[in-house]
Structure 1
């Protein structure tokens, strides 16, 4: 059914993204500023995007569990847009970049520790495989 199709698509996207070697951008608590480390990661991601000019990238904004769901959805969107804007500055066409915020709904790491939270505050780039 549709759920199985969606799962297959998510898996295909994960595989494609890992194969591309795209790097995540991590954010400080309550921040959507891109750090030097983030800029370094994105310059590599931009290089990949330039050598794959037909690829569509989805930028997911993620947050740690602190704060309300509504607040984190907004923060996640600001993070994803910050990543998109930086990629556009690096010469990637905006039409190849879409933005989605998952707020705190899709944590990468589920322990209640700062080291875990810091992994969840991220902009995650996904190669879109669907149409």
Structure 2
């Protein structure tokens, strides 16, 4: 009887332990199922650029010019590691530079640095060339006397058609008058003294006329306004037979081409 009672008590104790173990396992499973996943850490804050932003300004003096005039550009920047002006290239962070624009121009300054970039612009206006004064004189208003008072002959050495250095001032004066009267067309006649053959002097006279024409063209007279002719020794301004007279005959003479 006692043996049966002990056996029953042992079985009861084992059953209680099994129940307790099962209850513990169930509790662990329940706790595990109810546990939520931990939230991921927040992203790091964005990096901020603490470098100061660059500044820039540029001026032009003067801002309006006539063709051929110069302008002084002045610029200042700060917090910039690279500074450039369009059309000029890379420049110091601050400075001045003389420029001579042919047309109206925008000078665009760009400054770049660790803090970003900025720009500034200075505009220079190039005025249109002034129109030449109107010349209302017609060909008939310039008579031969007025023409020859202002357009002088050019003289040559013996057997030569080179325009002498002392004649350059005459060429300049002649060209100035002709350029003031652009409607005038001119005959350039080449003359020689009496020495030498007719054929030789005709060729020499032609060379003298062409040399005088080229000198006027170099001084700014349009070649379309100039016509050359050689008179050789056919027309003498002086008929004495000495050097002073011969010198008067070695010339290029200008006249209105009517």
TM tier, shorter chain?
Answer: 0.7 to 0.9
Q: 1:101 to 1:108 in 2, by over 3 A?
A: same
Greater helix share, structure number: 1
Distance 1:79 1:98 in 2: 13
Partner of 1:108: 237
Q: Higher relative contact order by CA 8 Å / sep ≥ 6: 1 or 2?
A: 1
**Hey, what does 2:145 align to over in structure 1?**
18
Which segments of 5 or more consecutive residues in structure 2 lack a partner in the other structure?
A: 1-141
Deviations 1:56-104 (A, max 9, x none): 0100000000000000000000000000001111111000000000000
Name the CA distance, whole Å, in 1 between partners of 2:202 and 2:214: 18
Aligned length: 115
| Corresponding residue of 1:57 | 186
Q: Deviations over 1:26-49 (max 9, x none)?
A: 000000000122211111000010
Higher-Rg structure is: 2
Aligned to 1:43: 172
1:73 partnered with 2:205: no
The secondary structure found in structure 1 opposite 2:184 is coil
- Distance in 1 (CA, whole Å) between partners of 2:145 and 2:171 is 15
Q: CA RMSD in A?
A: 1.2
CA distance in 1, matches of 2:187, 2:228: 6
State the TM-score, normalized to the length of structure 1: 0.84
1:127 and 2:256 aligned: yes
